[in-house]
Structure 1
Amino acid sequence: MRTSEFNPVHPSKRVTLRDVAVAAGVSVATVSLALRDSPRITKKCKQQVVQVSERLGYVKDSKLSELMSHLRDNRGGKSGSTLAIVDAGEGEVRDGYSSGNLEIVSGLREVAMKEGFSLDCFNMAEEGLSARRLRQILLARGIEGVVVLPSPRHDLLVGMDWSGLTTSVIGYELEGEDFYRVCPNYLRMMDELMSQALRDGFRRFGFLPEPNQQSLRNRLVSSSVEFHLSGALGALQVDRFTGRESDTESVSRWLESQAPDFVIGSCEAWRTLCQLEKSGRAAPAFAAWDIAGAPSNVSGLDHRYKVLGQEAATTVLSRLTRQALRESENMLTKVIEGKFRRSESSKWHLSSLENAG
């Protein structure tokens, strides 16, 4: 843990837990746990916090300590040091999470461990949980902090009562105003991709969306492409594909009728185009709107999922600390700057077909 430079507080001013937290570069919750010799905090972290507190001249407020001890004792078996991770995804599940969310979870886990929190995963589809049952479990376990992972099945959370919970949602799909939100900046990422593609001479752009044509994520990607083409001389977005991205015959017919020279799609769309090229059909240039899980020979958008997870956890833990200190804070949306990644060959075309299987 790295401590920040911090001048000793003036002797006439009482040093607070917040002062120690700022100086030590950790949260107020971590300072509190460390000074109480909690087993959830590493020995190294405890020593660092103690050293900073002694340097600043921190002295416990006996009345406040007595009050907090009383509150902890009266929580019974509640788990105030646990974050709930809600995953409504479908498909392959690894370690309790949808495989597509593992990078996000690694970011969540990194922050949680640093701050002395554990993670409790609730896979809605896998466990057959309803929104009502999920809330009952969270309240029964005394879990107050919740992070909702990206998922095409947020319909499972429709009607969820979020009151009394501090919730951070990753992505745009789950609508509502009762939680914080951490999102990738599609417009900024697409700006990098489209600017480079236009500089390279491409003018007819096609979009192979995910199966859920009306998902907000699909609409954001498509709108970003259209926005960047609006000011590009001679460039246009062809009619979007409306079939299944894995249906090679339908994709082939779409390519023939629309003749895009550049296609933006998912990794599944990339595999389909590779199959078509193997069969002898000339495939257009390609970029993935999400390179998570894509081979290194695929260019596309890096959503920086681990950073999204880190920010979501930090947002929830920060809000829980503010609530403990009875400080108000408005709901907010934090946008994470993703980036465009060129393939290792720096080429757009599908030149490495051996990875298409």
Structure 2
Amino acid sequence: MASTRITIRDIAARAGLHFTTVSLALRDSPQLNIDTRARIKKLARDMGYRPDPMLSALQAHKRTRRNPHYQATIAWINNWPQRDDLLKIPEFHEYRRGAEERAAELGYLVEEFWTHDPATSPAKLRAILRARGIQALLVAPQPRPRTWLEFDYTDFSAIAFGYTLQPPLLHVVTNHQAHSVNLLLEKLWSLGYRRPGMYISRNWDEKVGYNWISGMMLSRWLHPTLARLPLVIDNAGRNTSAMAAWIKKHRPDVVITFSNNFVYLQGTGLRIPEDIGFASLNVGETDTHISGIRQNDRFIGRKAIDLLVDMVHRNERGIPEIPVRTLVEGVWCPGKTLRKPGASPAGRQTATHANRNPSRGGSPSARLSPNAPKPRRAD
């Protein structure tokens, strides 16, 4: 025989409290002090209270159908020494944009809190958040890998973007970079590229948990005939001359890097995609020219809000015992910086054609030889 379900009103009657107080305690609301919350939650456990899954589903359904009105503020935690530098990175700007869009749809406001504010210490920031009744934190990507953020997460639901935060670990949402690289290499393989060169620094690969390297190594295992060019560069120069020297040394037929490095490849004087291909690991949301992977950054921001709001509703607070990673798949963008299917690489032209056009044929390294036309400078 099924037992009678214990309700919030039953707990309230036993505790001698109003049912709204019990509801706040079970949702870990900072409106109640921590001792009161702990006492009520213990009583609920002792009485055998379990949330009604059908009621929870009904409440979630109502939240998606009603016109959103302001419910609460979600804190966007910015730990960059220079406050404005965070959103200068296109991916992070899209995280914020997606988060704000989804939060507004659910009736929440996203507000930034800067940890390097001279007037704010970690303890004071925590006190401010609690005083304002803010329970949910979006921890933005950190400026460096293995960054430790001095903050007490007790009483807060928190989601982090990416892998740059040092333990204690939070739940994470990010792009599935290893899959993104593997998808990219599969596309390059189908287009006939056999000497893909990854032009990224060790620091950037560390920021994504070495997933760029992981995806590249998997692709090499799947396609043993791929040339074994260096996986990462200790200090990938952010200028035309550094990229030109790297191309001359390693002779890639396609450069895998970030979209903002496209201008440096243009500056070498090589024709794209006739002489060499360009494949981006982070094609912008509205960019139709660059070929490569779009990481779906805005969707990542939206997904972070969904996960965070669900945590608030489930009363999940503090450092999780088992952190969970939510990985968002990237999508392929054909663009115009890779040769079309069936097109011949410039370095495989017939001898007759190459002789008629000596300045336009040959491999990328030949184009960058001392006798080749001097590279154009990037403006």
Deviation by residue 1:259-289 (Cα, 9 ceiling, x = unmatched):
1112111123221111112699x96311111
Contact 2:149–2:166 (Cα < 8 Å) also in 1: no
Contact 1:213–1:242 (Cα < 8 Å) also in 2: no
TM-fit CA distance, 1:212:
2.7
Deviation by residue 1:34-68 (Cα, 9 ceiling, x = unmatched):
8xxxxx728xxxxxxxxxxxxxxxxxxxxxxxxxx
| TM-score normalized with structure 1 length | 0.68
Structure 1 segment 284-303 matched on structure 2, within 5 A: 284-292=276-284, 295-303=287-295
Aligned residue in 2 for 1:24: 62
TM-fit CA distance, 1:171:
1.3
| Aligned equivalent of 2:308, options 316, 326, 339 | 316
Please tell me whether Structure 1 or Structure 2 has the larger radius of gyration of its CA atoms.
Answer: 2
Percent identity (aligned): 18
Contact 1:138–1:144 (Cα < 8 Å) also in 2: yes
Amino acid at match of 2:305: A
Amino acid at match of 1:347: R
Contact 2:201–2:234 (Cα < 8 Å) also in 1: no
Structure 1 unmatched runs, 5+: 1-13, 35-39, 43-79
Aligned residue in 2 for 1:162: 153
Deviation by residue 1:15-49 (Cα, 9 ceiling, x = unmatched):
9753532443629xxx7xx8xxxxx728xxxxxxx
> Number of residue pairs matched?
288
What is the SS of the residue equivalent to 2:188? helix
Separation in structure 2 between the aligned mates of residue 218 and residue 208 of structure 1, nearest angstrom:
17
TM-fit CA distance, 1:125:
5.6
Aligned residue in 2 for 1:72: none
Aligned residue in 2 for 1:41: 69
TM-fit CA distance, 1:331:
4.2
Contact 1:146–1:166 (Cα < 8 Å) also in 2: yes
Does structure 1 residue 237 correspond to structure 2 residue 228?
yes
Structure 1 segment 202-217 matched on structure 2, within 5 A: 202-210=193-201, 212=203, 215-217=206-208
Aligned residue in 1 for 2:180: 189
Aligned residue in 2 for 1:82: 73
Structure 2 unmatched runs, 5+: 1-51, 346-375
Aligned residue in 2 for 1:304: 296
Separation in structure 2 between the aligned mates of residue 188 and residue 310 of structure 1, nearest angstrom:
20
Moved more, 263-272 or 338-347: 338-347
The 3 A distance-change label for structure 1 pair 346 and 156 is closer
Contact 2:278–2:337 (Cα < 8 Å) also in 1: no
Separation in structure 1 between the aligned mates of residue 335 and residue 328 of structure 2, nearest angstrom:
22
Contact 1:90–1:98 (Cα < 8 Å) also in 2: no
TM-fit CA distance, 1:137:
3.4
TM-fit CA distance, 1:224:
1.0
Separation in structure 2 between the aligned mates of residue 331 and residue 103 of structure 1, nearest angstrom:
24
Amino acid at match of 1:252: A
Does structure 1 residue 261 correspond to structure 2 residue 253?
yes
Aligned residue in 1 for 2:43: none
Deviation by residue 1:233-281 (Cα, 9 ceiling, x = unmatched):
321331233334323222222211111112111123221111112699x
Contact 1:299–1:343 (Cα < 8 Å) also in 2: yes
